[in-house]
Chain A
Amino acid sequence: MSDTVTMKGKPLTYSAAETDPAVPRHAGSAVAVGPSGSKPQKKLSRRNIVLYGVLILAALYYLLPLYVMVITSVKGMPEIRLGNIFSPPVEVTFAPWVKAWSEACTGLNCDGLSRGFLNSVQILVPSVILSIIIASVNGYALANWKFKGGEVFFTILIVGAFIPYQVMIYPIVILLREVGLYGSLTGLIIVHTIFGMPILTLLFRNYFASMPEELFKAARVDGAGFWQIYFRIMLPMSLPIFVVAIILQVTGIWNDFLFGVIFTKPDLYPMTVQLNNIVNSTQGVIEYNVNMAATILTGLVPLCVYFVSGKLFVRGIAAGAVKG
């Protein structure tokens, strides 16, 4: 079978007789006798065994906690008390999920995570949209319209990204109190928008700077102004970087705990804070299955975002964040 080769596990058959019946196979010439065509590859070489072995082990290691969480969340409490956390459930029940979503108590009220979910959505959507709109225009202006003080502005913004959040919390509390936004969703949205600025502006600036400069020049010769170039030339070309920004912001803001707990009040706590309160409430027995279900529910939004847009995410990171 010298004309059957295996590449990446998929057999490919080359046959001279198929393409040209007039040519006899292996006509006996010196060329045909020796090795020819693409090089056959061994499937089970030592290199491959080590490579795939390590990869599979690493994947299992990372998947194990998720496995434990999922099976625990569909077990009843009696089964959990048996103590074998790796064994699959004998009886599957979705009661813990229902309880986590709508009945679990967080001290004051007993309507589960649903309230936190709604709060988180109300925080997330405006924060993501607002921060991305502002940061993309910032990045575009910094990359393409060189203006006096632009470099200084950008440097300050980047330095801002390296100052620990905790340093700024108290001043922001005072600021929000003075303008009457402390303890409101609006206040938290503003905080999220501001704290997203440095990294998002850097991301957009680098992406726009990596676009060919001549495109921008051509648009100027064509008579397009600041907004026309932004909307009609730059925006249609920058879907990948917008996806990156959306993912960064959605996961960052959804997973935020610190700002949520500080700048809002119990009624308006985001889902993460709610989750913490469910898990940490110490009345009665600890319901591991409810806690697991609540945790998975809370992590579901970022997870979905990654699954839907993973490919674009990688492309955008490669195009925008590395260059420049």
Chain B
Amino acid sequence: MTSVSVRDLSLKFGSLEVLRTLNLDIDQGEFLVLLGPSGCGKSTLLNCIAGLLDISDGQIFISGKNVTWEEPKDRGIGMVFQSYALYPQMTVEKNLSFGLQIAGMPKDEISRRIERAAEILQIQPLLKRKPAQLSGGQRQRVAIGRALVRDVDVFLFDEPLSNLDAKLRAELRVELKRLHQNLKNTMIYVTHDQIEALTLADRIAVMKGGIIQQLDAPLTIYNRPVNLFVAGFIGSPSMNFLPGRIEGRGDQVRVVLGSGLSVPLDGYEAGEPLRDSLEVVFGVRPEHLTVSREPTSGPSLPAEVELVEPMGADSLVWLRLGTNSMSVRTESTAGFLPEDAVHVTFDLAHASLFDASTEERI
């Protein structure tokens, strides 16, 4: 069942088009992440769904009801903000009850709901404190609690973990995922952090320039990005891009990279037949390359180690391949050193080819 549905939504600030005829359907209980660089319109889209921004054109449905012109409180949403946005002069308990009081809910019902939310989020000992007396993680938990007591169908998160330090962010990320598994509410989550997106999401919508570039499950987005932007944005360290040209056809098709090096393309699942002499960008992630000191049995190319970045369990080895530079993820124990002569092998099942002119995946 569809929980949130956005139809042909447009938003203009004067002549500036922030969102362009955007369509999005989110299933009941789905965890959808809106991911993109700053200024891509992801937070704006969330604010439109919340009713905090008036849209220029289109419709928004929540739980089957057209809420395009409804006030935020009547949309059945709860929202969690990056800066927590707790009312500083109220205790945690008052923060949680504020919205319910305004809605005129009876006292015993309010305290029942606060008790339940406090238990889920384990903030019972904090109820009498003011926000200033809480740590960042506790504040964000209270902010989530404020959405929780509203007992709504849809939770909206606007970069909720961005203000926290790295360790706390990882902890709360797990808590959020657990919360979603228990509550099974629909959640829409805005972030620019791809790790959060990949770990939390059922589906990710990658946005750029007010348009959803790709809407898919995290691993699909990771392995089969639809265009150069998505391929470059997702993944850290990011994907290697090598300019090249398609040569031959049928079983003999290969991509010729800059300096006359060529890679046979058997094993690559092309969406459309590969045309001869098409200019392409060949993309492959650092972990889908293997380096070895000896030539392997399969097709491999000679390269030279440029520098090595140790990252703990793995090391990132930067290779010079003709005129191109590319990174390869290797085990730290492999012990490559700069200027080593090596051979590099491509895992073509996980590689991507993009049309150089349209930047779309082939």
Contact = CB atoms under 8 A, between A and B. Distances in A.
Contacts, number: 57
B234 to A, nearest CB: 28
A222 B146 CA distance: 9
A280 B50 CA distance: 67
Contact of A223 (B82, B86, B103): B103
A214 interface: yes
B309 to A, nearest CB: 37
B79 A218 contact: yes
A236 B89 contact: yes
B325 to A, nearest CB: 42
A219 B52 CA distance: 11
Interface string A204-223: 00000000101101111111
B337 interface: no
A233 B102 CA distance: 13
Contacts of B52: 217, 220-221
B103 A217 contact: no
A222 B99 contact: yes
Interface residues of B, number: 24
Interface residues of A, number: 16
A212 B52 CA distance: 15
A228 B86 CA distance: 16
A237 interface: yes
A218 B146 contact: yes
B85 interface: yes
Given A217-B81, A221-B78, A237 B89 contact: yes
Given A212-B85, A218-B85, A224 B102 contact: yes
B226 to A, nearest CB: 33
A214 B89 contact: no
B250 interface: no
Contact of B83 (A212, A220, A228, A237): A212
Interface centre among A221, A228, A232, A237 (most CB of B within 10 A): A221
A223 B102 CA distance: 7
Contacts of A237: 88-89
Interface centre among A212, A219, A223, A236 (most CB of B within 10 A): A223
A147 to B, nearest CB: 12
Contacts of A228: 102
B233 interface: no
A223 B81 CA distance: 16
A197 B79 CA distance: 36
A217 B78 CA distance: 11
B319 interface: no
A129 to B, nearest CB: 23
A232 B95 CA distance: 11
Contacts of A217: 47, 50, 52, 79, 81, 85
B307 to A, nearest CB: 39
B98 interface: yes
A232 B102 CA distance: 11
Nearest to B84: A214
Interface in A67-94: none
A214 B82 contact: yes
B72 interface: yes
Given A221-B50, A222-B73, A215 B102 contact: no
B82 A233 contact: no
B72 A215 contact: no
8 contacts: A215-B87, A217-B85, A218-B79, A218-B87, A223-B72, A224-B98, A232-B98, A236-B89
Interface of A: 212, 214-215, 217-224, 228, 232-233, 236-237
